[in-house]
Structure 1
Amino acid sequence: MTGTALARVSGVNDDDRLQFAIDSAVRVHADRNDRESRFPTESIAALAESGWTGVLNAAHHGGLGLGLVDFAEASYRIGQADASTGLIYVMHVGAAQTINLYGTEDQKERWLRDTRGAALGTYSCSERATGGHWWFNFSQAARDGADYLINAEKSFTTSAGHADFYILQTRSPEARDQGDITFFIVDGKAPGIVPGPWSALGVRANHSGALRYDGVKVQARDRLGAENQGKEIIYNGLSPVYLIGLGAVWEGVARGVLDRAITHTQGFVHKDKNRSLSEYQAIRQEIAKAKVLAESLGPWRRHLATQLDALWAAGKPQSELLIALTEFKVHAAEVANTAAAAALTVTGGYGYSSGPIERAFRDARAAIAMGPSNVIARDWIGKSVFGQPLELFYEGGE
């Protein structure tokens, strides 16, 4: 039964459609996509058909009109099946949400209405020159009459070469300094967009390779927000949805790998002892330690997402939760790594062999590195504890 056929069955709701897409496509294709570094086209199509790629978009733009609690739950559940698809999903919904928050009605009509169907969006922010400081750009837009010309080398862009539109971050034309940033919506089919190869330890299917913009023309109507509004967009339109979604995916990875380890240790029996792995105290201890950590994430996620929804509804800056969201991302990344390591330990050769446990172990390493990396993020948290500025753009400021 396809997602469309499922949608016609009486009593099937949005939640059922999401789970059907995960079980019938995301989970089914995950190992092959990882093994072949293959972009998860079928999985994204199934999520789009279910309507969940438009989770935050208004109903009159073809979306579900739901909130960040629902988005974070979806990210968590997708992450249980496949981290690569989960990250693609988070970047897509985040890109759409940035348009929801800062786009014109014309932009919403042109770019959001199709996100329930074939259109796929993503962020294109980080540059090699600034490494993990993805918010700091050296590239700069130029004027092309009333329009714009983009020349930029982006280092990590999820869905590079596959996205239908990119939310591009760069310095404004005639930028006064590094904090003078502008965002653009760039058509993924525009001439001059050149994706690089993607080869990585984990999340091999999300194609987060380099992306070059060689003289890419962008019409004025696809500038997102005003010139020099980019810093505000980073804090309020990009970071909150990105961080809650990112943490939710890694929570899902932790839960998914833990569930697989539990299933294996219950089912595998040492014939010489006639005992399952789960009957050994050492195995139970490893599982228990990981479970305690995994259980800490869900309530925190729901609490933060509820607060984000309240701020969104009230029209207040979501950056009020920046540090709390950063803390959640750090903890989720570390729990995913702890759970994956425990799963590998208790499943022995089975877990070490190519498959979902070994895949989760590799995927979880990306959680530590993804911006803000846990090293950078912990420094932000420490600075906030002591009332010190984050210094994202200016020494002694921010």
Structure 2
Amino acid sequence: MTASVESLPSSTDALATLHRVIDDVIRPQAETVDRSGTFPREGVDALAAAGLLGLASSTEVGGGGQGMRVVADVIERLAAECGSTAMVVLMHHAATAVVEAHGPREVRAAIAAGGHLTTLAFSEFGSRSHFWSPTGTATAAGDDTVRLDARKSWVTAAGEADSYVWSSLPLSPGAGPMTLWLVPADSAGLAVAGDFDGLGLRGNGSRPMTADGLLVPTEAMLATDGAGLDTALTVVLPWFLVLNSAFCLGLADSAVAEAGRHLTGTTLTHTGAALRDAPVARRDFAQLKIRTDALRAFLGDTLTALETGRDDATLRVLQVKALAGETVADVTDGAMRLCGGSAFRRELGLERRFRDSRAARVMAPTTDALHDFVGRVATGLPLLDEANR
């Protein structure tokens, strides 16, 4: 991936820059990306050139130095226009958090400059959505070299990213439950192992990948051997869950806005009344609006909890994606019903948002897993029992 960063946006102009990219590139191509299942390369490159892929990178390496709140706002606005593009950028920022914490300076600088797209490679065929239980192996191959072997089931931007934050069993048995590696995309033995023809997020490139005798230097290890689960829980999980919630909010908010336009702009010829004149329609619309605004408030509180180090920050992070996944599924479904047959036409954009919203419930950690996590934390139990660590 190559890009020339125009200028890294500050917190005050990042959204103005984003709106320009959305207007010029992302919105015009959203329907085509969805219909064809094509990776949104032009949109991703435009975001990179605008400095938005390096938004959270440290200023020390030339990045924007922005926090999670600004990035969440970017993801929300992208999701309102193109879910596939938003998911690619979401996974990039979740992986960037690890690279910023433990990766080499040259890769950090490349991300900051908009010349490097990264992503997470956690889910595996053997453990599915239980990302905390890898089955892929890491074995010493001599001369400070490590061999990685794995079958990854879902990797966003597979074959499109420049690197993968890769999970495996530890290099040394007993070192810990998981180790993370930074795997370059051009590594021999790394391959995309299938296509993606999904219900929604059709352009996000979530495809299986395999590592078959993939060799990386020992220094490709991120953090220490066996510390990957702690890194995943303390670094990756907050970024992923919060940004995923912002993604859901963007979809829900745009669905409510479209439903509102339909109710106010559609008139029944035989009565002369707009759809909004019906009390039942107004009630149903109000319920969608209230649920979306409630999610926005909860997401804002979660970000505040993280920023201020509140005692309930971990609980809020776990709760927010569970809330967001159910909210966006229900709100997009309700918007489809409010708009009736019109919602089934592609040009309204509601059916695309409806399909894209289905991913939140099943994307690891799934809603069911999050409910268990919330129950564990809220009753004083550890997030994962020892069998899963």
The corresponding residue for 1:315 is none
2 CA distance for matches of 1:84 and 1:139? 27
**Residue 336 (str. 1) matches residue 328 (str. 2):** yes
SS at match of 1:270: coil
1 CA distance for matches of 2:308 and 2:58? 16
The corresponding residue for 2:91 is 91
2 CA distance for matches of 1:157 and 1:163? 10
Q: What amino acid maps onto 1:180 in structure 2?
A: P
Aligned residues: CA RMSD? 2.4
The corresponding residue for 1:256 is 254
2 CA distance for matches of 1:116 and 1:295? 35
Query: After superposition, where does 1:201-216 map in structure 2 within 5 Å?
Result: 201-216=199-214
Q: What amino acid maps onto 2:39 in structure 1?
A: F
1 CA distance for matches of 2:281 and 2:63? 45
Give deviations 1:159-206, integer Å, cap 9, x for gaps. 1111110000111123227x4321110101222221121111111111
Q: What amino acid maps onto 1:346 in structure 2?
A: L
The alpha-carbon distance between structure 1 residues 310 and 189, as it changes in their structure 2 partners (threshold 3 A), is farther
Bigger mean CA deviation after superposition, 153-162 or 74-83: 74-83
SS at match of 1:169: strand
State the shift of 1:117 in Å.
2.0
The alpha-carbon distance between structure 1 residues 71 and 95, as it changes in their structure 2 partners (threshold 3 A), is same
State the shift of 1:273 in Å.
1.7
- Kept after mapping to 2: 8 A contact 1:63/1:113: no
2 CA distance for matches of 1:302 and 1:116? 29
State the shift of 1:369 in Å.
0.5
- Kept after mapping to 1: 8 A contact 2:55/2:63: yes
**Residue 17 (str. 1) matches residue 17 (str. 2):** yes
The alpha-carbon distance between structure 1 residues 236 and 275, as it changes in their structure 2 partners (threshold 3 A), is same
**Residue 236 (str. 1) matches residue 228 (str. 2):** no
The corresponding residue for 1:55 is 55
The alpha-carbon distance between structure 1 residues 6 and 119, as it changes in their structure 2 partners (threshold 3 A), is closer
Q: What amino acid maps onto 2:322 in structure 1?
A: V
SS at match of 2:24: helix
State the shift of 1:278 in Å.
1.8
Give deviations 1:291-331, integer Å, cap 9, x for gaps. 001001223222322333445xxxxxx99733311110011
- Kept after mapping to 2: 8 A contact 1:140/1:170: yes
Q: 2:122 aligns with which of 125, 129, 139?
A: 125
Q: Which runs of 4+ in 1 moved over 6 A?
A: 3-8
1 CA distance for matches of 2:307 and 2:98? 15
State the shift of 1:225 in Å.
1.0
Give deviations 1:72-106, integer Å, cap 9, x for gaps. 11111111112221111111011111111223xxx
The alpha-carbon distance between structure 1 residues 30 and 224, as it changes in their structure 2 partners (threshold 3 A), is same
Q: TM-score, normalised by structure 2?
A: 0.92
Q: 1:383 aligns with which of 356, 359, 376?
A: 376
State the shift of 1:48 in Å.
1.0
SS at match of 1:184: strand
2 CA distance for matches of 1:150 and 1:393? 25
The corresponding residue for 1:358 is 351
Report how many residues are paired.
382
The corresponding residue for 2:135 is 138
Q: TM-score, normalised by structure 1?
A: 0.90
